[in-house]
């Protein structure tokens, strides 16, 4: 099982706008690839990717159509007051994230 951990709405450190562009590019290329992603876990500001219209959302939809399950952290959604704004996937817990990371064959963290 391959677990994609999205713990931010951007990739890398430094300029935030560049980081957002990089993450969209990463997700676009991942969605176009033959790499099978089984679970996508969104934590911290990564929940912004599943709760607002943004350029990354269409690539997450493609990954979901290819079989990936998407879960956004309930604690994070509540922290950002986004629990009722989920546009894709479902709600997950930290306990589930720990289990997925511990048992995954591969964890990808852009």
Closest CA to 39 of 20, 16, 17, 66: 66
The β-bridge relationship of strands 69-73 and 39-42 is: parallel
**pTM surpassing 0.95?**
no
3-state secondary structure of 42: strand
What range defines the domain where residue 85 resides?
2-8+36-108
Measured CA to CA, the distance from residue 77 to residue 81 in angstroms comes to 6
Q: What is the pLDDT along the chain (110 residues), one digit of tens a residue?
A: 999 999 999 999 999 999 999 999 999 999 999 999 999 999 999 999 999 899 999 999 999 999 999 999 999 999 999 999 999 999 999 898 888 889 999 999 99
Would residue 72 count as lying in a domain?
yes
| Total domains in the fold of the chain | 1
Would residue 94 count as lying in a domain?
yes
Write b or e for each residue in 25-41: b if 16 or more Cβ atoms lie within 10 A of its Cβ, otherwise e: ebbeebbeeeeebebbb
Structure tokens at 32: 């176009």
**β partners of residue 106:** 2
- The domain that holds 97 is classified in CATH as 3.40.1260.10
């Amino acid at each position: 099982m391959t677990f994609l951990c999205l713990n931010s709405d951007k990739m890398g450190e430094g300029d935030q706008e560049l980081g957002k562009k990089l993450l969209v590019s990463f997700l676009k290329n991942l969605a176009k690839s033959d790499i099978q992603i089984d679970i996508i876990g969104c934590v911290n500001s990564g929940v912004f990717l599943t709760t607002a219209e943004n350029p990354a959302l269409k690539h997450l939809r493609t990954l979901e159509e290819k079989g990936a399950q998407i879960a956004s952290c309930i604690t994070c959604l509540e922290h950002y007051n986004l629990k009722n704004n989920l546009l894709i996937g479902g709600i997950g817990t930290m306990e589930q994230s720990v289990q997925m990371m511990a048992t995954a064959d591969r964890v990808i963290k852009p």
